[in-house]
Amino acid sequence: MKAARIQLQYDPEALSPLHEGICTDPDLEREVILGGHAVEGVETITSFVVGEPAAYEALLEDRDGVLEYAVTPAEDGFFLYLRQELGPEGTSLLNALAQETVVVVPPIEVCADRTMELTLVGHPDDLRIVLEETPPGVSLVVERVGDDLSARAPGGGVSARQREALEAARELGYYEVPRRNGIESVAAELSCAVSTASALLRRGEARAIEGILESPATR
């Protein structure tokens, strides 16, 4: 049995409407799908979205095929329950993953840089088929492969949006002592809400520190 952590990289025209909204709306950073299933063309998921609830709800209200949803606000974002009809992009991805022994292990990370990260577990031959049958407009990068679920950890890398926030904060003097500009200036530079800018910095800082502490040179 093998486990593979993979990243799907989408061309703009291959994005689903909701993923496109995450990529283009400055008030949304990413969505972490915690679980779900698809039955007869209807997908039901629960996820945590980092960003502003109103921005995501605007995407749902304008989308055909949304059957029902519920939003529960939380720190840094909100929890989402969603039932929707699958579009062609979702169906083609499911078909690519539909191998006899392959299981998708949550969470699935839907990111604002037109990528999706997920972990697959299954027999090597079936995993190889998945890697060879990605839908049109989608390229696949294998981040790591293991003999067990150790390959499923998200890996601690700083996302493109988090890096943008960290760089803006540094340029604005947010990390200087004394601080030259506050979080409001960072939010203005990123054209997003103060809460979103704060979440981007906190998560980016946490991932950067984790990467430093996990590197061989610091052990």
Q: Which residues contact 106 (CB under 8 A, 6 or more apart)?
A: 33, 34, 35, 118
Mean per-residue pLDDT for 85-90?
73
Query: What integer is the mean pLDDT of 129-143?
Result: 82
Q: Regarding predicted confidence, which is higher, 212 or 18?
A: 18
Q: What is the pLDDT of residue 155?
A: 46
What's the pLDDT score for residue 151? 46
- pLDDT score at 5: 84
Q: What is the pLDDT of residues 159-206, one digit of tens each?
A: 777 888 899 999 999 999 889 999 999 999 988 878 778 878 887 887
* Region 53-71 average pLDDT: 91
Q: Which amino acid is at 161?
A: R
- The pLDDT assigned to 71 comes to 96
pLDDT for 141 equals 83
Say what the pLDDT of residue 160 is.
Answer: 72
Q: Where are the domains of the chain?
A: 2-152, 160-218
The CA distance from 148 to 39, in Å, is 28
Q: DSSP code of 167?
A: H
With a CB cutoff of 8 Å and minimum separation 6, the contacts of 21 are 28, 55, 56, 59
Tens digit of each residue's pLDDT (9 = 90 or more) over 101-124: 888 888 888 988 888 888 888 888
